[in-house]
Structure 1
Amino acid sequence: MSGKLQTISRYMLRQRCVFNSMRSISTAMPILVSHKHHVGRDPLVYRTIGQQLEMTAASHGDVEAIVSCHEGKRYTFKTLLREADALAAGFRKLGLQRGDAIGLWAPNFMHWYLGMMGAARAGLTSVGINPAFQGPEMAYCLNKVNIKAIIAPETFKSQNYYEILREICPEIPDAEPGKIKSQKFPHLQSLIIDSSNDLKGALRFNDLLDLANQSEREEVAKTQRDILPESACNIQFTSGTTGNPKAAVLSHHNFVNNGIHVGNRNQLEGERICVQVPMFHAFGVVITIMAALTKGATMVLPAAGFSPKDSLHAIVNEKCTIIHGTPTMYVDLVNTQKKLQVPLGRIKKAITGGAIVSPQLIKDVRQVLGVETVHSVYGLTESTAVIFQTLPGDGSDMVLNSVGQLQDHVEAKVVDSEGRCVPFGQPGELCVRGYTTMKGYHTDEQKTRETIKDFWLHTGDQFILEENGYGRIVGRLKEMLIRGGENIFPKEIEDFLNAHPQVIEAHVIGVPDERLGEEVCAFVRLEEGMDPASFTAESLKAYSKGKLAHFKVPRYVIPVDAFPRTTSGKIQKFKLAEAFKENYATELKAARA
């Protein structure tokens, strides 16, 4: 064959291969992997919380921003801005500088809300602290993020915040207000207590409002452009498998934009929200506070702590059209309404998150409370708050079978153990990226790198993503359990139990509970000679008082002689769960009844 013919032959063969390849590509079904990017209709904004407050005060100045029923206090957005600037100027008079951390340690009181807004206007970082925390937990928080000032009530129920702080920081009573000097807490300078009493070493909250003069307050507005949207505005403590809470740092950009897009989907313009969730939590601070702020909606606080009776009366008296709560809260609200039969009027939406909603609960919320629609939200602290959410118009089936559709401007993928995307409809770990991702864990670069890889936030949740952008939770890859919306990690409780003088070894699991979703169950191996009957949930509750937050105290305590282990010595917790189900669940349920 001549060279020319060989060239023509090779060309024809090559073209035939290309044609066959193209035909193969065109006839093969494409593999659709679990990856989705939801491009939002409204663009992201570049502003701080303080600037957002100014905008809302300008457009909704006479609208009530917040109503505290239990305190008898009301603020419009206009008066809120004025009080926030008074606080911001007061913080500066105390010597707090931009970037400093200020702890907000309280239930749902007005001073918590004002403290957050004042901190944002001053360029400070507010730190939400669980009001149920006891002395050792508070001490950890103070040093973990170098808190320089604390705002708290004097007391709430049996909790005396001032006395707890005095106990862990004995220098307080001898200090001048704003000049605390402590060896254990070298950064702590100021203690601000919402009380009419003069407490040694503390400044009264109302006195802080009056600390700065008018010109100093006006100066706050001039400095707003100096605070960058990328800068930290809030720290949320979220427990980890190490037993100590991690401190997730969130920015103004995170807060404002998530608030806008949560508010968009929940259609909050002009609505009045019955706030049952704690403000320190992501549900309270972002899904509620920030969404209401960006949409000019009114927040109504029925009580400092969750009270279904007070919630029902607040809905009526304040004409609430939206309810925020965890599934557990709705269970209690429904049961209370069945007894009281309060004439609730029109309620447009019940927004729920923090745990899975049962079909019966959705039915009860609609029938007993008269709620028109139920919306669900899903997210985590590290993702600011919401990354999946119900769309307006979604029916009950969609709420039951998913956590909603991917939030605007968020990208999601579901991966296998090797990091490869699985096909739509198959389970894997949910990873997300976008504006919602936290800045990182405070002073913990290793944990940050473990959680955020190549800009993807690994949620640790086993998840299924559908091609239409809706998703559902299958399970948790992490060991976390959720009790009534509270995130609890067993290691922290295990460490606490292992320090008990009668306990040799303890392991904690979550077990099903009809009302709370999950309850804390502790399996313990006791010292030799100990009577197992003497080590009960009640005795452990008494031992835990003042040492461990009440929601972490195990409801079930089961003594065992030995623990199931792998050949390498690791505890097989799934066998503990099986043992509970087979041997204890029926017995303990009957005992509780």
Structure 2
Amino acid sequence: MLKEKLQTISRHFFKRVLETNGYPSAVLLRYFSAQAPAVVKSHNYHPAHLHHIGKSPLVYRNVGQQLERAAAKYGSAECIVSCHEQKRYTYQSLLEEVDRAAAGLLKLGLKPGDHVGIWAPNNMHWYLTMMGAARAGLVSVGINPAFQGPEIEYCLKKVKVKALIMPETYKTQNYYEIIKRICPEISNSSDGCIKSTNLPHLKHVIIDSRNKLKGALSFDDLLGLSSPAEREDISKLQRHIVPDSGCNVQFTSGTTGQPKAAVLSHYNFVNNGIHVGNRNQLDSNSRICVQVPLFHAYGVVITIMAAMSQGSALVLPAAGFSPADSLHAIVDEKCTVIHGTPTMYVDLIKKQRELQLPLKTANMAITGGAACSPQLFLDIKNVLGLDHVRTVFGMTETTACIFQSRPGDSMEQILNTVGHLQDHVEAKVIDAQGKTVSFGECGELCVRGYATMLEYYDDEAKTKETIGRDKWLRTGDQFILQEDGYGRVVGRLKEMIIRGGENIFPKEIEDFLNTHPQICETHVIGVPCERMGEEVCAFVRLHDSATKLTRDEIKEFAKGKLAHFKIPRYVVPIKEFPKTTSGKIQKFKLLETYNKEHKAK
């Protein structure tokens, strides 16, 4: 009897000590689980919090060192094939070319930490520049190749890009002409040195072209700038590049304003690459058909870094996504793995049903970038004749991947979850008040660990809004965390639209459309689309003097000013917007209006 009284007094004492020091209820429960199982047994609260410790430890290494290790281990093995450019590199030959790019960038006068923009599709100069920047201690900045003048201008100014790498043209884009419009001084510059009033930080433009373009260096010129001794110095430089320092900037989406610039570290890149590669069972015999854009977090981490960690080969079928080129590349290059977004797989399946190519070597597809329906998973597996279909789930701010399928997952787990929590990542799900909910309950997913971004560049307020003092990163996703470590996405708390893997924020489109002379007010939402996941739908209220405005007229108005994927697929005229009493637009009612009209048609 006395013993039981002492235990009760002890429990109350430690409970008060813990509460006084600000420990949350989850800590109390874990404490009492160990100290007094009988007390906790009657409590129904099981906090949705997990920390998955992986078998492979985290490594403290920068990207340049990771590439050196790969070259030493897999030297003569093929590293990357660019089918459309007819270029091939082994790991050793790639390292040599990367160091030429690194030494060339430093020869231009760039300093450690400077930003190098890469505005290009999936060409070899993209890969060489990204790796070269990392080896030189510079920070690469991935920029969507579909961006038009105002969008690229914003990116260059936002992160103070000092050197910009790009092709001369791609599809209908003439990159040089676009740059001339926002940086007219380039036409009067020489030796690749620019002094711009509009872009004061931009000092160099390097273009992958055989044409001599005024004020720009060619990419071949960049590779030829350095001496053998300067290239050898790049290897010595690696020990001075801190893994915790910035390696890459990814422009990400938000609910308001312009895109934010997430800064990712070498440590983020290297470790997520290792754990993604391990989970997908990549090895030196794996050959990955790369359909995803390299500028995206999927392409640069889940694809490039994962392949490098395991000595796998990358195959670039085309500069941009082309289902026919992808299928032929799988056959010709004997690809074993396919990377793509759900939208890409929809098109790939359609083309394969048409061509019926013998995809004998392919055995696994990895899908990510947007939600994938169970039926699409089955179609990928059956139509493409694959043994395995896996998914990755994450966000740019978490270095692309925080949940992922595991070897041996059941079809139920593959079809109905986003996979299992990534190695060495901590996750919890909270309610609107910040309290951790129980396993199986819906709330906002928060994560913490090695994969979390360093910051939003030059945006302390947004950084603090996303990452708390306790280092938990709020994802903005409505999520259900299961006790077995698997998770399910219920919806998104943010208004972000995901169209075919492209993140789109409505306000930018709204602000642009509101400049149209006939438009009084615009509000943009994402609406369901079987192929793209979501499409952009603009509700527009016209000025009283205007009669009507068609989608084709809006498309023409946006030409050369908005990336094609941001131009609304649907335009719905509206007399008055539904609002709350405080004047806020009720976008969920706009979606209801669209669904009613869509069904009526």
- TM-score normalised per structure 1: 0.95
1:488 to 501, 504, 517: 504
> Which is worse superposed, 346-355 or 433-442?
346-355
> What residue is the counterpart of 1:110 in the other structure?
124
> What residue is the counterpart of 2:540 in the other structure?
524
> What residue is the counterpart of 1:475 in the other structure?
491
CA distance 1:17–1:162, change in 2 (3 Å): closer
CA distance 1:312–1:23, change in 2 (3 Å): closer
Residue identity (%): 64
> What residue is the counterpart of 1:327 in the other structure?
342
Task: Summarize the alignment of residues 154-553 of structure 1 with structure 2, pairs less than 5 Å apart.
Answer: 154-270=168-284, 271-453=286-468, 454-532=470-548, 535-553=549-567
Shift of 1:241: 2.0
Aligned letter for 2:59?
Answer: V
The answer as to whether partners of 2:331 and 2:361 remain within 8 angstroms in 1 is no
Shift of 1:30: 5.3
Aligned pair 1:67/2:81, yes or no? Answer: yes
Matched position secondary structure for 1:193: strand
**Unmatched 5+ stretches in structure 1:** 1-8, 588-593
Aligned letter for 2:461?
Answer: Q
Aligned pair 1:566/2:568, yes or no? Answer: no
The answer as to whether partners of 1:177 and 1:191 remain within 8 angstroms in 2 is no
Alpha-carbon displacement from aligned partner over 1:164-194 (angstroms, at most 9, x marks no partner): 0011000001111331001111111100000
Task: Summarize the alignment of residues 574-589 of structure 1 with structure 2, pairs less than 5 Å apart.
Answer: 574-587=588-601
The answer as to whether partners of 1:483 and 1:519 remain within 8 angstroms in 2 is yes
Aligned letter for 1:357?
Answer: C
Shift of 1:243: 2.5
> What residue is the counterpart of 2:27 in the other structure?
none
CA distance 1:91–1:25, change in 2 (3 Å): same
CA distance 1:17–1:221, change in 2 (3 Å): closer
Matched position secondary structure for 1:528: coil
What is the rounded CA distance, in whole Å, between the counterparts of 2:153 and 2:283 in structure 1? 40
1:135 to 149, 153, 157: 149
CA distance 1:277–1:12, change in 2 (3 Å): closer
Shift of 1:24: 5.4
CA distance 1:272–1:14, change in 2 (3 Å): closer
Aligned pair 1:38/2:52, yes or no? Answer: yes
The answer as to whether partners of 1:565 and 1:571 remain within 8 angstroms in 2 is yes
The answer as to whether partners of 1:243 and 1:495 remain within 8 angstroms in 2 is no
Shift of 1:19: 12
Aligned letter for 2:225?
Answer: L
The answer as to whether partners of 2:256 and 2:506 remain within 8 angstroms in 1 is no
> What residue is the counterpart of 2:23 in the other structure?
none
What is the rounded CA distance, in whole Å, between the counterparts of 1:305 and 1:537 in structure 2? 26
The answer as to whether partners of 2:374 and 2:416 remain within 8 angstroms in 1 is no
The answer as to whether partners of 2:394 and 2:400 remain within 8 angstroms in 1 is yes
What is the rounded CA distance, in whole Å, between the counterparts of 2:264 and 2:526 in structure 1? 29
The answer as to whether partners of 1:353 and 1:376 remain within 8 angstroms in 2 is yes
The answer as to whether partners of 1:123 and 1:227 remain within 8 angstroms in 2 is yes
Matched position secondary structure for 1:83: helix
Alpha-carbon displacement from aligned partner over 1:248-302 (angstroms, at most 9, x marks no partner): 0000000000000000001111200000000000000000001011111000000
Matched position secondary structure for 1:102: strand
The answer as to whether partners of 1:261 and 1:407 remain within 8 angstroms in 2 is yes
Shift of 1:396: 2.2
Q: Which of 1 and 2 has greater Rg?
A: 1
What is the rounded CA distance, in whole Å, between the counterparts of 2:123 and 2:524 in structure 1? 33
CA distance 1:178–1:12, change in 2 (3 Å): closer
Moved beyond 3 Å, runs of 4+: 11-24
What is the rounded CA distance, in whole Å, between the counterparts of 2:294 and 2:111 in structure 1? 24
Alignment RMSD: 1.7
Shift of 1:219: 1.0
The answer as to whether partners of 1:346 and 1:371 remain within 8 angstroms in 2 is no
Aligned letter for 1:412?
Answer: A
What is the rounded CA distance, in whole Å, between the counterparts of 2:106 and 2:127 in structure 1? 18
The answer as to whether partners of 1:177 and 1:190 remain within 8 angstroms in 2 is no
Shift of 1:384: 0.8
Shift of 1:29: 4.5
> What residue is the counterpart of 2:16 in the other structure?
none
What is the rounded CA distance, in whole Å, between the counterparts of 1:522 and 1:420 in structure 2? 36
The answer as to whether partners of 1:48 and 1:253 remain within 8 angstroms in 2 is yes
Shift of 1:565: 0.9
Aligned letter for 2:391?
Answer: S
CA distance 1:394–1:202, change in 2 (3 Å): same
Shift of 1:393: 1.2
What is the rounded CA distance, in whole Å, between the counterparts of 1:552 and 1:23 in structure 2? 56
- TM-score normalised per structure 2: 0.94
